[in-house]
Structure 1
Amino acid sequence: MTRNTEPLAPDDPRHGTINGYGNLGCRCDACREAHRENHMRYMKKVRETGSLSGPDVNHGTSYRYDVGCRCEECRDAHNAKSRATKARLRKQRRFR
């Protein structure tokens, strides 16, 4: 599947929807807000259901940081991953 690279028409009814942001690649204010609200609901559900813990989610990983944990171990793992990514991109001259 390829992402739509053409902006949605101004009168397109899909503006302000999760579909507009996620599947159609629209980044207008209304679509970004729909995505933000949806992601906020998702993260609230993840935190409430305890999906951040358990045998399938390792503590002290960049993933765990990405899904909301802010402990020192997870923050360190996330920072290490960010530094490695930036170093790789610098090497490719895609990041300064």
Structure 2
Amino acid sequence: GLRIWLEAFLGTQPASDLAKSWRGDRYQLIEENEKPILIWYLEMATAKSAETLVAEVRRLIFPSIKETQPKRKIEITSQGSRVTFANSPLNE
């Protein structure tokens, strides 16, 4: 999953290299103020690989997501080796 998602933006080899640091993930769908929020938790091998993933997503993927999903709030953070990606409706 992660490698395939990254390939479209990073290219085959960089996506494969980064995906090798993937150790697992979970999705969570929650509701806040009657709006759905999708949260994707990824566990990477190291804090460095988590930071690299966050940087690449912000640099290459966020612009595309924000263009195709303008009414969504997109966030990505890392803490240690865990990456948290959240996608929710904008409060309008």
Larger strand fraction of residues: 2
Larger Rg belongs to: 1
Q: Which has the higher contact order (CA 8 A, sep 6+)?
A: 2
Question: How high is the TM-score relative to the length of structure 2?
Answer: 0.33
